[in-house]
Every structure is written in C-alpha cells, then in structure tokens.
Amino acid sequence: GQQLNQSPQSMFIQEGEDVSMNCTSSSIFNTWLWYKQEPGEGPVLLIALYKAGELTSNGRLTAQFGITRKDSFLNISASIPSDVGIYFCAGQPPTNSGYALNFGKGTSLLVTP
Amino acid sequence: DGGITQSPKYLFRKEGQNVTLSCEQNLNHDAMYWYRQDPGQGLRLIYYSQIVNDFQKGDIAEGYSVSREKKESFPLTVTSAQKNPTAFYLCASSSRTGTQPQHFGDGTRLSIL
C-alpha cells in the first residue's frame, strides 16, 4: 500500500500554541483517520472522517477531509503538555486490502510548559 | 470492557526460532489486521483477515504466517525466515464493511537475542 506524505516530521512548541499538521496522497481515499500514539502503546483513534469536505472536532482537535479526497489536516488548539506524542494520519483507499489502512510516517509533537 | 488484547508485551527470539504473537478481541469485529512498526516509520500491513478461516497477505508478508480459526483470535507467527524481525507489532480490528475505524491493541515489542 501507498505510504502517505505527512508533515511536518516533528514539532517542538510551547504550551498554549496551536499546532497544524497535514497529510497528502497521490490517490484518493474514502476515509481519513487521525491517531495518536504514546511510547510503548498502540495508536488511539482521535478523529475519523468519511466524507470529502467534512470538518470534525473532538475537543481541542479539529480535522478536515480534503475536497479532492487526497489530503487531510489536523489542528490542535491551545496545546498542553499531555498532547505530547506521535500523530499519525491514515487513509482507506477505495479498493484495498480488506479496508486495511495506509499510514503516514507520523508527526512527533513535543510541548514545553 | 471491549477491546483488543495483545500478548506478550515483550518477546525475545533466538536465531532460527519461530515465535507467535497473540491477538484477541471481544469487539465482535469480523476483520483483523497485523501491522509492523519500525522507528520513525508508519505502520506497514503484514496480514489481514476479513472472516474466519480466511486471510490475505499485506505489503510485507514474507517471513510471517497467520491463522484465523476463531473470530476473536488472529495470532501472528514470526518465522526464522524473517531476517529482520526486531520491531513493534500491532494488531487491529474493525467491522468487515469498513464503516467503523480500526482499533488497535497495545502492541508487542519483539527483539532478537
């Protein structure tokens, strides 16, 4: 499966700042998902997007499914130290391996108090 | 609580040895997946199964084998043919129709002695 282009690779910010990361693909996807992973644990789902143009929020997190179906972004507002972790985008292409996901390489977020 | 349980958390393999990683889910999901994660990389699909007694190779299946005798269980065997098995292995499950996002276990870290 295709690996998605996720950027930035890492971010080092101060508490209270807003964060933005994005993911692009050369082909279209039916679903975009954003996960957060902490060291030694499995990814935890943050937001799921199922329709082009869809904008969804989960607390301080907001994500959008791009109109072209080839991109998605995740914003985190007013970051706090517990936001630290690796954020992954994942997409589900129209014809794929039994709904298996294609993943980006992750954005590592560090937040200083 | 419903969820996905992976065991063991840490596993060590000797050269030439096969090892089996366990994955059990009580979410009543039809589909299950195995991913491999290397440092600084996204997740890559090893095998997936949409229904009992059926499974398909993913992008990096060489050196691995699986079975799906029960809906709840999808064990992964890392064989001696896998020359670089040191990685973090993640199991996931989802509804067969793909209308629900994948949920992940907490992973097994495999190392070579």
Nearest CA in chain A to B51: A98
CA A29 to chain centre: 14
| Interchain contact, B56 vs A92, CB within 8 Å | no
Joined tokens for residue A9: 């690779």
Instruction: Give the pLDDT band (50/70/90) at residue A34.
Output: very high
Joined tokens for residue B74: 């999808």
Q: What mean pLDDT is reported for chain B?
A: 91
Give the model confidence (pLDDT) of B38-49 as tens digits: 987 889 999 999
| Nearest CB neighbour to A42, from listed B31, B98, B106 | B106
Residue B43 contacts A where some CB pair is shorter than 8 Å = yes
| Interchain contact, B42 vs A3, CB within 8 Å | yes
Q: What pLDDT is stored for residue B40 in this prediction?
A: 79
In angstroms, what separates the C-alpha of B61 from chain A's closest C-alpha?
A: 12
Instruction: Give the pLDDT band (50/70/90) at residue B99.
Output: low
Q: What pLDDT is stored for residue B75 in this prediction?
A: 98
Q: What pLDDT is stored for residue A44 in this prediction?
A: 95
User: Quick one: average pLDDT of B54-62?
Assistant: 93
In angstroms, what separates the C-alpha of A30 from chain B's closest C-alpha?
A: 10
Please compute Rg for chain B using Cα positions.
Answer: 13
Q: What mean pLDDT is reported for chain A?
A: 92
Type of residue numbered A94: P
3-state SS of chain B is CCCEEEECCEEEECCCCCEEEEEEECCCCCEEEEEEECCCCCEEEEEEEEECCEEEECCCCCCEEECCCECCECCEEECCCCCCCCEEEEEEEECCCCCCCCEECCCEEEEEC
Which single residue is written with the structure tokens 């990361």?
A21
Q: What pLDDT is stored for residue B98 in this prediction?
A: 58
Residue A8 contacts B where some CB pair is shorter than 8 Å = no
Residues from chain B contacting residue A30 (CB–CB below 8 Å): 98
